Amino acid sequence: MALERTNKCYFVGELVEVKDHRLTSYTNKRTGAPVEAISTTIVVKCMINDEENVFALSAFCNKINNDGSTNKNYNKLVNVKELVGRRVVISGARLVGDRFWSKQNEQLVPAQKFDFSMIREASDKETEDKAEFEFSGFVVRELAEKCDSEGNLLYYQMTIGQATYKEDNMFMLDFIVEKDNVAAAKAIENAYPQFSTVSIHGVCRNIVTTTTVQEESLFGEPIVKVYTRNDKKLVITGGDQPITGEGEYTEEHIAALNKAYVAEGEVIKAKAKNTDTAPTTSTASAPKPVNKKSALAGMFD
């Protein structure tokens, strides 16, 4: 029985940049044959609620499918630069939860990314910018208040874990509820306890702000430094009843996934320390489901 792992994103906006765009090849481990592919990263601007959001999405696409047919998306990605400055629709996108080892903080740091597989020019009727997601998994950390240093509420945040495709590992992502959306916060608090299997949807947000600081030097021209900040959040706007039965993450599933996740973290840490680099990995209130807390207590503290 497959675990719940819905992971979909959909974007409509202006393609503003294509970077890290290259043709590549590798050897198929099973057949030993060379495989041609395209690797690219695009930057899309979406106006959401009158705010400019900028998203970077990456794609890796083989030229030939496993059955020998030509991959229809390959040529579109090869020629994607032709769409710069135009409105585009991006589908076949998903959220990716990576991690890297921070030498400065001596800890694993999460990194949220987007992958995509399909892009096309928007039609005349597709005039509304969109940046949406659907996601399902199990609650790692329940919804909780996030406050600033003075104790003022900024937003509510929860963490959801999802199994990988082979269900032999997992990744985690943080999602928020805006502080003014009290109804959603209360519904989630009542219906989504820790370790319950849930399905949510919402809006992706990444507001980029740039700050320029001028520092005086001992002599000569002042030093100008530019700092860029990304306010990257996944904002929950709705959710379904908790999932039980088919697709549910059981205590056994969660314990096994967490064991693999922890082991992977140790590998990332060891590689980073051995090479002095930081590689990433790929990688009305509802009734509450059965409480798994007793068997999994302390696992994600």
Residue 232 lies in a domain: yes
| Model confidence, pTM | 0.85
Instruction: Confirm whether 223 is domain-assigned.
Output: yes
Q: In this structure, how many other beta carbons lie within 10 angstroms of the beta carbon of residue 189?
A: 16
Residue 1 lies in a domain: no
Place of tokens 């059955």: 67
Q: 2 lies in a domain?
A: no
What's CA 8's distance to the chain center, in Å?
Answer: 10
Q: Note down the domain range covering 19.
A: 7-296
**Token code pair at residue 174:** 């943080």
Cα 237 to Cα 184: distance, rounded to the nearest angstrom: 7
Query: Which of 58, 64, 53, 68 minimizes the C-alpha distance to 14?
Result: 53
Which residues, listed in sequence order, are joined to residue 235 by a DSSP beta bridge?
Answer: 176, 203
In a domain, 301, yes or no: no
Looking at the DSSP bridge assignments, the partners of residue 99 are: 110
5-14, 28-37, 56-65, 292-301: least confidently modelled range: 292-301
Of the listed ranges 63-67, 206-210, 267-271, the one predicted with least confidence: 206-210
Looking at the structure of the chain, the number of domains it has is 1
Q: 114 and 92 in contact (C-beta within 8 Å)?
A: no
Residue 248 has pLDDT above 50, yes or no: yes
Determine the residue type at 293. Answer: K
Greatest distance between any 2 Cα atoms in the chain: 71
Q: Is 210 helix (H, G, I), strand (E, B) or coil?
A: strand
Residue 295: what pLDDT?
A: 67
What is the arithmetic mean of pLDDT over 97-103?
Answer: 90
191 within some domain: yes
- Tell me what pLDDT residue 282 has: 45
- For 207-228, letters b (16+ CB in 10 Å) and e give eeeeeeeeeeeeeeeeeeeeee
Please write the tens of the pLDDT for every residue from 32-90.
888 999 999 999 999 998 999 999 999 999 999 888 888 999 999 999 999 999 999 99
Does residue 122 lie in a domain region? yes
Res. 279: pLDDT tops 60: no
Closest CA to 167 of 253, 242, 283, 252: 253
Selected residue with higher pLDDT from 106 and 203: 203
The per-residue pLDDT for 290 is 56
